[in-house]
Structure 1
């Protein structure tokens, strides 16, 4: 029982750290950018090329204007996936679900002896 509890706790902590990972476009390398849902190698290359050419991105509108293929709708999805510009998520991106609710839901199902 204790072994299962420790394993569940370890898996939950690993899942939480992945869910909370945020990637800033001004600091990330190609691997970090590729880890964001919706960003593939081609998009990562466009982001890095534009950052090298024009310097850091000031804000989301600057990012959308300078990176080909990124519009308001795709920017919202990227923000939901963990992408940030200067530490900020896209303002009209919906908030991520709270991980604590999932934890509470899972722990209630465990049998108590």
Structure 2
């Protein structure tokens, strides 16, 4: 096997190690973001968290480009792993409906 084949084989085996892991950018901490997103180190992950704290939850993956140091190519590289569902408010409890009144039974003639 030539050196070229060895290099290609090693590159193919190492590729999954650099794949992104799905992560919710609205709930993950900086360490989790850095570990989950390809090309995002701790500094960029901290910038994502700081942006989120200042501006509220992300509503789209493309909105990440508003974070300093995050470009469109980095978002595209991680697009399949970026989850951005905004936290949903708890549903309001429904008021109990009043019970329907039953018709009174006719009086007995046996008295």
**TM-score normalized by the length of structure 1:** 0.51
Number of positions where the alignment pairs a residue of Structure 1 with one of Structure 2: 68
The answer for unaligned runs of 5 or more in structure 1 is: 1-18, 88-113
**Between structures 1 and 2, the one with greater helix share:** 1
Match of 1:34 in 2: 34
Moved over 4 A (4+): none
Kindly indicate whether the alpha-carbon contact (under 8 Å) linking 1:24 and 1:86 is maintained by their aligned counterparts in 2.
yes
CA RMSD of aligned residues (A): 2.5
Task: Give the drift of 1:46.
Answer: 0.5
Tell me the residue number matched to 1:84. Answer: 83
Matches within 5 A, 1:36-75: 36-64=37-65, 66-75=66-75
Runs of 5+ consecutive residues of structure 2 not aligned to the other structure: 1-18, 87-111
Larger-Rg structure: 2
Residues in 1 aligned to 2:47 and 2:53: alpha-carbon distance in whole angstroms: 10
SS of residue in 1 equivalent to 2:58? coil
Please report the TM-score for the alignment, with normalisation by the length of structure 2: 0.51
Give the superposition deviation at 1:49.
Answer: 0.5
